[in-house]
Amino acid sequence: MDERYSPEKVETDAQEYWDRHRSFKAVEDPKREKYYCLSMFPYPSGKLHMGHVRNYTIGDVLTRFMRMQGRNVLQPMGWDAFGLPAENAAMANGVPPAKWTYDNIAYMKRQLQSLGFAIDWEREFATCQPEYYKWNQWLFLRMLEKGIAYKKTGVVNWDPVDQTVLANEQVIDGRGWRTGALIEKREIPMYYLRITQYAEELLADLDRLPEWPERVRTMQANWIGKSVGVRFAFRVNGVARSALGSPPSPLEGEGMGMGGDDPSPLALSRKGRGGVGESLQDGLLWVFTTRADTIMGVTFCAVAAEHPLATHAAKSNPKLAAFIEECKRGSVMEADLATIEKKGMPTGIYVTHPLTGEPIPVWVGNYVLMAYGEGAVMAVPAHDERDFHFAKQYRLPIKQVIGVSLGGGRGGNVAFTTDAWQEWYASKDGVCVNSGKYDGLGYAAAVDAIAADLKAKGLGDKQVIFRLRDWGISRQRYWGCPIPIIHCPHCGDVPVPDKDLPVALPEDCVPDGTGNPLIKRADFVNCVCPKCGGKARRETDTMDTFVDSSWYYARYCSPDSGKAMVDERVKYWMPVDQYIGGIEHAILHLLYSRFWSKVMRDLRLVAYDEPFTRLLTQGMVLNEIFFRKPESGRITYYNPADVEVKLDDKGQRIGAILKSDGRPVESGGIGTMSKSKNNGVDPQALIDQYGADTARLFIMFAAPPEDTLEWSDEGVAGANRFLRRLWKLAAEHVGAGIPAKTDLSQLPSPLRDLRRLVHQTLSKVTDDIGRRRTFNTAIAAVMELMNALARLDDGSGPARAVRHEAFELIALMLAPIVPHISHALWFALGHKEAAIDARWPAVDNAALKQENLEIVVQVNGKLRGRVSVPVQAPEDKVRELALADENVARHVAGKAVRKVIVVPGKLVNIVVA
RNA sequence: GCCGAAGUGGUGAAAUUGGUAGACACGCCAGCUUGAGGGGCUGGUGGCGCAAGCCGUGUGGGUUCGAGUCCCACCUUCGGCACCA
């Protein structure tokens, strides 16, 4: 064994061994329990970043650990290879997205391999390969047949200069990123997937995912956004149905006939979202409310700018038309809407209150969303904070209809004033007042009574609605999976027959920013109608890349299947036992994958309901931010590698300078590693300098996996120091020869203590990795053991045998985390079989036995002494020994002992007066 | 604004079930080692105090023999987002 630890050699050797023996090939074996460990696949952006390294190291540790536990493990890897960056790169460099993508994949694959991940590379694929995306198309056609996929118009960002559709991220302050032109909103036909049909199940099944982080489940539940309330209508005064120009809808009447008990999400999702018209059938203004108990307090209604009633009113009111235009111009991003000033304008139209018959004015409000509910709300300013402020601003009446008695709870109504908003105004705990026959009813009773009365009048009923909207998958982009539709002038939109799949994407296009290049590809666009044989035009839109990532985990089970999307091997491997990825995917990717799984299940392609049994969301990787901001001009960020930090003599930071010019830079705190803040660390540089094991060790040691991880060059050096020390100690031990097998059950005291520590450490590491997933504490425990081992200065036979066992267990305990050095140490310790095929060691319970325990003694809760007591000592004896301790006796002397609390094996607390 | 998570030495953190606060590591200090390369080894390192000891886990209360951990109120930071009717 070399005296010196040289990671390049150690790591190359280990990786060559694993390659040669195809150690990571996963083979289905019904006799063995499987373990499918999956990390979210990367977008091939060019090179790995630290977030990838962290993600894949966590997955690899669990994979290798479970493998040592005897499970038949699968850890695959692939590439989320379609997407916008490839088109941007093409525009910048003139390289086709296909070439750019495949080059990046080749480079990043080498990087992943150099980190020594236990990946079955034989299952690798990229989503841009026709063998994969063929099945996107195939499933899309099945969805079309089942009515899950459908076509309707949607709004997109239109750049009038480049004549192209832009993604949200390509719109900066309302202008195109390349042209600077003001972006217009355009309505174009698009394909949608009816995820809302699964809303109820997607919500309910969150309860079947107990091993997902609570906060992810909460985020998904909020995103699905189930609301139980009442949908009802106001008659629009003096407006006939024909005047509104809304065509009779085939869905008309469906809402009323559905009954409140079992509302179908499918029907609901159609209603109110299908576009203009439906909300005004028969001259009715439909609204949805969760506070029907406040209906007697309605003093106005507010509709969205896009609402047909607003459109109608604007025809004869230029000022209103201008206001509506202003509202429509604003951002569609809901986060932006949260901060805009609330504005409104009266339409001049009145509606009739369904219960009181009073006339109610209708306003247009910029805070009403067309996409949620009916695009119209009843406004109860006394009991809704937004309505309250709106009413104050425009001097609209405010009528209290809910009373609350605080304090005693009997009768005494707390005073209501319109001076300022009070928290309790929105409370559901009060009872109705000023509400005629509903007076005195609580929330639930009032809602029931009011819903029943509305139903009797044929003007409404209870209703469940979801915030979740159908998934629009059409993208007016080149580098994606073609949507398999043919547009025929005679037959309309015709699905591509299964036998003609895949619709292959030409790979030699170079986008130039002026729209989808597919439109100009005659050989792609021109085709023959499968129905009538006439000339037809192929759809040029491609699919959202979230489609690609919605089922890739299932494809890994049978990546070579040419006949089917997935084959019977999926039954063995799925569902994924452990999924690992960034918290940024908590909603969309995970929700779409869950939806896609349920669709595949309903098509009897798979048997599972949920694709990911256990989820681990790893924290972000942070680093310091340094910058200079000149008097005039732009802020410049400096990479922490180019900055030297100045410390005072206590190690407290006093400043930082740029290494190149020695002049000070300012600290911007710490933040996520990003290009814009120039605070990234290149994993490749780290691997080149210290090796993969050091990178893996540092990343797993610095923080628990779910927490953020702060980068530290000193910490990396420390991790490397530990490995060098381990290597050196092991080399010294092995250099003296492999000790003969020795009976370790009878050892002198210091050796027995050391051996107990060895097995205590094994016990802790097993629990930390297997159950707690706190890799940082597992590593700390091994470090502690190594420190104890280094202190043992004893060259005797028994000592060498104890030391040998300790090194063996250290090599195995560290094998999931730093597999290369463990591989080398294991062979050096005299084993013929490689560490990769070794089993996780078992704790020797006999080694854990001890005769005496150290017990802490407190007096009035303050630590006053420690005593050694026999393990089997009865409580009286422990108490006696505790009181006999010199320091304890001193603190107890002269005081009456009131109580003595004995916690077996832990402590004694003596309570004195 | 709403929702969620978290506040512990100079720093990253540990304390798993209410039971020794600060394991492990970084940094710093002292000493040794002419093998300066990102050296190696030993010891020290929460604050105050000569000491006994006292104080100490964001702040203020509370429960308990005992609280970083449980309860109430507040402050701060981070993350997510919805004006969701």
Least confidently predicted of A24-33, A63-72, A436-445, A518-527? A436-445
A837 CB neighbours strand B below 7 A: no
Can you tell me which residue has the tokens 């001076």? A419
Which nt is closest to the CA of A652, judged by C1'? B10
Which nt is closest to the CA of A374, judged by C1'? B85
Co-location of A768 and A879 in the same domain: no
Give the residue, A230 or A167, on which the prediction is more confident: A230
Give the residue, A584 or A749, on which the prediction is more confident: A749
Is pTM beyond 0.95? Reply is no
A87/A80 Cα distance (integer angstroms): 14
Evaluate whether A41 touches A549 at the Cβ level (below 8 Å): yes
CATH at A596: 3.40.50.620
Neighbours of A624 (CB within 10 A): 20
A162 CB neighbours strand B below 7 A: no
pLDDT of A373 reads 78
Evaluate whether residue A167 is within a structural domain: yes
Q: How far is the CA of A372 from the C1' of B75 (A)?
A: 37
| pLDDT tens for each residue of A580-615 | 988 778 788 899 999 999 999 999 999 999 999 999
Evaluate whether residue A5 is within a structural domain: no
Q: How far is the CA of A909 from the C1' of B64 (A)?
A: 13
Question: Given A596, A618, A640, which residue is the final one in a domain?
Answer: A618
Neighbours of A97 (CB within 10 A): 30
Q: How far is the CA of A645 from the C1' of B8 (A)?
A: 25
Q: How far is the CA of A816 from the C1' of B31 (A)?
A: 39
Co-location of A231 and A373 in the same domain: yes
Query: Is a pLDDT exceeding 80 seen at residue A267?
Result: no
H helix or E strand, kind and range, residue A750: helix A749-767
> Would you state the structure tokens that stand for residue A39, as one six-digit string?
């990390």
- Burial (0-12, 13-18, 19+ Cβ within 10 Å), A565: buried
Evaluate whether residue A14 is within a structural domain: no
Question: Given A583, A618, A653, which residue is the final one in a domain?
Answer: A618
Cα first-last separation, chain A: 65
Which pLDDT band holds residue A408 (cuts at 50, 70, 90)?
very low
pLDDT of A5 reads 93
| Residue A173 region by backbone torsions, left for phi larger than 0, else alpha for psi between -120 and 50, else beta | left
Query: Is a pLDDT exceeding 80 seen at residue A883?
Result: yes
pLDDT of A795 reads 87
Which pLDDT band holds residue A29 (cuts at 50, 70, 90)?
very high
Q: Which residue is nearest to nucleotide B23 (CA to C1')?
A: A780
Which nt is closest to the CA of A903, judged by C1'? B19
A691/A437 Cα distance (integer angstroms): 78
Average the pLDDT over A144-167 and give the result.
86
Which nt is closest to the CA of A866, judged by C1'? B20
pLDDT of A405 reads 65
Classify strands A653-658 and A284-289 as parallel, antiparallel or unpaired.
Answer: unpaired
Q: For chain A, give the mean pLDDT.
A: 86
Which pLDDT band holds residue A479 (cuts at 50, 70, 90)?
very high
For the ranges A155-159, A485-489, A513-517, the maximum mean pLDDT occurs at: A485-489
Question: Given A594, A618, A642, which residue is the final one in a domain?
Answer: A618
pLDDT of A713 reads 87
A391 CB neighbours strand B below 7 A: no
Co-location of A519 and A382 in the same domain: no
Evaluate whether residue A16 is within a structural domain: no
Query: Is a pLDDT exceeding 90 seen at residue A776?
Result: yes
Co-location of A755 and A816 in the same domain: yes
Q: Which residues contact A453 (CB under 8 A, 6 or more apart)?
A: A355
A15/A824 Cα distance (integer angstroms): 11
| pLDDT tens for each residue of A101-153 | 999 999 999 999 999 999 999 999 999 999 999 999 999 999 999 999 999 88
- Residues 763-782 of chain A: which lie with beta carbon within 7 Å of strand B? 764, 767-768, 772, 774, 776-777, 779-780
Share of chain A above pLDDT 90, in %: 52
Share of chain A above pLDDT 70, in %: 91
CATH at A296: 3.90.740.10
- Residues 577-636 of chain A: which lie with beta carbon within 7 Å of strand B? 583-584, 587
Which pLDDT band holds residue A247 (cuts at 50, 70, 90)?
very low
Evaluate whether A32 touches A26 at the Cβ level (below 8 Å): no
Query: Is a pLDDT exceeding 60 seen at residue A331?
Result: no
Evaluate whether A553 touches A580 at the Cβ level (below 8 Å): no
Least confidently predicted of A486-500, A633-647, A859-873? A633-647
Co-location of A335 and A458 in the same domain: yes
Co-location of A563 and A602 in the same domain: yes
Give the residue, A277 or A316, on which the prediction is more confident: A316
| Interface confidence (ipTM) of the complex | 0.92
Q: How far is the CA of A559 from the C1' of B57 (A)?
A: 52
Which pLDDT band holds residue A650 (cuts at 50, 70, 90)?
low
A230/A455 Cα distance (integer angstroms): 10
Evaluate whether residue A115 is within a structural domain: yes
pLDDT of A733 reads 93
Neighbours of A448 (CB within 10 A): 16
Co-location of A780 and A810 in the same domain: yes
Evaluate whether A401 touches A430 at the Cβ level (below 8 Å): no
| pLDDT tens for each residue of A211-232 | 898 888 888 888 888 888 899 9
Q: How far is the CA of A664 from the C1' of B14 (A)?
A: 35
pLDDT of A272 reads 36
Co-location of A230 and A340 in the same domain: yes
Average the pLDDT over A413-430 and give the result.
75
Least confidently predicted of A160-164, A726-730, A786-790, A882-886? A160-164
Co-location of A637 and A672 in the same domain: yes
Which pLDDT band holds residue A330 (cuts at 50, 70, 90)?
low
pLDDT of A148 reads 93
A155/A776 Cα distance (integer angstroms): 48
Residue among A462, A465, A280 at smallest CA distance from A372: A465
Residue among A234, A354, A363, A240 at smallest CA distance from A286: A234
A75 CB neighbours strand B below 7 A: no
A23/A20 Cα distance (integer angstroms): 8
Co-location of A673 and A650 in the same domain: yes
| The total number of structural domains that make up chain A | 6
Residue among A167, A98, A47, A171 at smallest CA distance from A546: A167
For chain A, state the CA radius of gyration.
Answer: 35
pLDDT of A563 reads 94
Evaluate whether residue A856 is within a structural domain: yes
Q: Which residue is nearest to nucleotide B4 (CA to C1')?
A: A215
CATH at A891: 3.10.20.590
Bridge partners (DSSP) of residue A857 are: A865, A908
Query: Which residue range is the domain that position A648 belongs to?
Result: 622-695
Query: Is a pLDDT exceeding 50 seen at residue A410?
Result: no
Give the residue, A470 or A839, on which the prediction is more confident: A839
pLDDT of A829 reads 96
Instruction: Please report how the helices A713-735 and A819-828 are oriented relative to each other, as an axis angle in degrees rounded to 10.
Output: 10
A650 CB neighbours strand B below 7 A: yes
Co-location of A737 and A806 in the same domain: yes
Which pLDDT band holds residue A260 (cuts at 50, 70, 90)?
very low
Evaluate whether residue A781 is within a structural domain: yes
| pLDDT tens for each residue of A557-574 | 999 999 999 999 999 999
Co-location of A122 and A43 in the same domain: yes
CATH at A648: 2.20.28.290
* A455 marked among binding-site residues: no
Evaluate whether residue A706 is within a structural domain: no
Evaluate whether A576 touches A35 at the Cβ level (below 8 Å): no
pLDDT of A558 reads 96
| pLDDT tens for each residue of A499-546 | 999 999 999 999 988 889 999 999 999 999 999 999 999 999 999 998
pLDDT of A264 reads 32
| pLDDT tens for each residue of A699-748 | 999 999 988 888 888 899 999 999 999 999 999 999 989 998 888 888 88
